[in-house]
Structure 1
Amino acid sequence: MTVTIAVSSCALFRQETGDKGAAFPFVKALTMVNQRLTELGQAIEERFKIVVTHTNSKDRDHPANNIEKYKLDIDQVYEITGEKSFVDHLNEIKPVLYLSTNQQNVREAIIAGYGAATMYQRDYQEPSDEVLRVAFDGDGVLFSDESERVNTIDGLNAFFDNEKKKEDIPLKQGQLHTFFRELVQLQQKNEKNCPIRTYLVTSRGTVSPGLRALKTLKAEKLEINEAFFLSGAPKGPVLKAIKPHIFFDDHLPHIKEALENGVIGAHVPYGVKNE
């Protein structure tokens, strides 16, 4: 099982300086996981395939130079040309996750059915490479925005009533569900020594809203390492304590909060919060 992750060179490296970009710690941790899985004796298919996309045709070697400089084990540098649409290029790569600083490309990827998120070049505290830590919001990311839509349109009380009534009905899949499932499957195949940890950091509370989220994961036999149900409290302090390599959320203020706490946030522009 090869899990293809596509990252634009503008997210991996800062274009002005060639320094490490917002996606660098995440990609570096992916290469660490590949190395550890190899040491555990896994077949070559049991790994991440990392593809760096590049659009600057005037300086084609720019990402390659930085990849060599930082000794990153990248599988492919893929040039995006004007000869066909961006989505056609993605259809060739077939990533389960695409990361870029280009908001338009990210939106096109999501419309085409790919998990995608926008990165923001800010200062961050580079996490340790011992374990890949990935944090997810729930609604609009792991799950669809169906409940969030009720909250936004009809209010908080309607949301609580909806979640209580539908507590045993699994939520539909969100934009990054496939990526999360691939992480879980890698964990399950390497149960004792897998260097991956996943986190759910959601504004849902611990009663029916939280129970519905957990029951949804259980129904799909997807285990998450740690879940934080914050009942609307700020996410920043929890994220700062977790120190994830990347945090995905559909609500831009939560991404800004993560960035303010030195955490690398990636915005998923999907659902009612982004209409």
Structure 2
Amino acid sequence: MMPAADNKLVIAISSRALFDLDESHSVYREQGLEAYSEYQVAREEQPLEPGEGFPLVQKLLRLNTLLGDRTQVEVVLLSRNSADTGLRVFNSIQHYDLAISRAAFCGGESPWRYINAFGCQLFLSNEAEDVRYALNCGVAAATLVSNKAGNSSSDQLRFAFDGDAVVFSDEAERVFKSEGLEAFSASERAAARTPLSGGPFKPFLAALHRLQQAFPASEAPIRTALVTARSAPAHERVIRTLRAWNIRIDESIFLGGLNKTEFLRAYEADVFFDDQETHCQLAGPHIATGHVPHGVANN
């Protein structure tokens, strides 16, 4: 069974998230734009090394082969480079045989304004300011803060999501932050049958769910996990919310405040999204990690 055309998944990624541009960026910071331009043009036939988002992009594009349709999953490059300095980026894309054909090179300006025009459902970048703008535009977005790329040893693509302020709104987390754990638990118990509002990653999770429907659950090339600090009795509202949304989560891990990192490693996550910087810092050395600067924890 093939997914419908309107189920297309479009991911935007910055050039610095896709490729390792740290050395080039150092030239820009230390010597200025002209030196940076000369540096890139002189090396435009020299492929860039993969960045932390590279394995994830490889797996995303590989889904098209499994789906039997090269148009179902698209990756768009959004870059602060000019087209002139960005030629090295496109040459690197061709070198690694990545099926990326659409791009916006913005000549020093932020590329976030093109996210909705391209129809993107997720934006990954190293620029926190661009990510915040994307979230304000209603697009799931995260700042890649890890120093570890995802594990691309298998074809299956494994996403891990925090719950509150990522998949769900931060309404419950606000109670926890302002009134403490006991009030949070009482509030969630009382509202157990009232679905939570959606967070910034709900539409992206729904898009993944639609792609999953093209396969039997045991054969899906995408797997999703909710990895949350919640525990009983706050679990029930989460389960009932996902049921009300008619969205499948393959694994739900309620940790009750335990460190998430070992569970993410056991799950073999390709990428993990969380609104809490502390969780991101702990997971970053082991898992490709995206910080979602949304909700009360980031005010």
TM-score w.r.t. the length of structure 2 is 0.85
Give, in angstroms, the shift of residue 125 of structure 1. Answer: 5.7
- Unaligned ranges ≥5, structure 1: none
Which residue is equivalent to 1:264? 288
Of 85, 96, 119, the residue aligned with 1:59 is 85
Shift of 1:82: 6.1
Aligned-partner Cα distance in 2 for 1:110–1:140: 12
- CA spacing shift, 1:172–1:267, aligned 2, 3 Å: same
- Of the candidates 255, 276, 295, which is equivalent to residue 230 of structure 1? 255
The answer to whether 1:119 aligns with 2:144 is yes
Identity of aligned residues (%): 36
Once the two structures are superposed, the pairs formed by residues 1-275 of structure 1 within 5 Å of their partners are: 1-16=7-22, 18-38=48-68, 47-57=72-82, 58-81=84-107, 86-120=111-145, 122-124=147-149, 126-191=151-216, 193-205=219-231, 207-260=232-285, 262-275=286-299
Distance 1:16 1:154 in 2: 42
Is the partner of 2:138 in helix, strand or coil? coil
CA distance in 1, matches of 2:245, 2:146: 35
User: 2: CA distance between counterparts of 1:88 and 1:106?
Assistant: 11
TM-aligned CA deviation for residue 60 of structure 1: 1.9
- Please state how far the C-alpha of 1:127 moved relative to its aligned partner: 3.4
Q: Distance in 1 between matches of 2:171 and 2:258?
A: 21
C-alpha change, 1:179 and 1:80, in structure 2 (3 Å) is same
Equivalent residue pairs, number: 267
TM-superposed deviation, 1:90: 2.0
Using the TM superposition, give the Cα deviation of residue 86 of structure 1 relative to its aligned residue in structure 2, in angstroms: 4.1
Runs of 4+ residues deviating >4 angstroms: none
Range with bigger deviation, 192-201 or 119-128: 119-128
Instruction: Provide Cα deviations, 1:88-132, integer angstroms capped at 9, x if missing partner.
Output: 322322211001000100011111211100012513463324101
- Check the 8 A contact 1:201/1:230 in 2, yes or no: yes
3-state SS, counterpart of residue 226 of structure 2: strand
Flag the 1:86–1:56 CA change in 2: closer, same or farther, 3 A.
Answer: closer
Q: C-alpha displacement at 1:87, in angstroms?
A: 4.3
Cα distance between partner residues in 1 of 2:120 and 2:252: 26
- What SS does structure 2 have at the residue aligned with 1:160? helix
SS in 1 for 2:249: coil
Q: SS state of the match for residue 78, structure 1?
A: strand
TM-score (norm 1): 0.92
RMSD after superposition: 1.7
Aligned-residue offset at 1:44: 5.5
Instruction: Compute the displacement of 1:273 (Å).
Output: 0.4
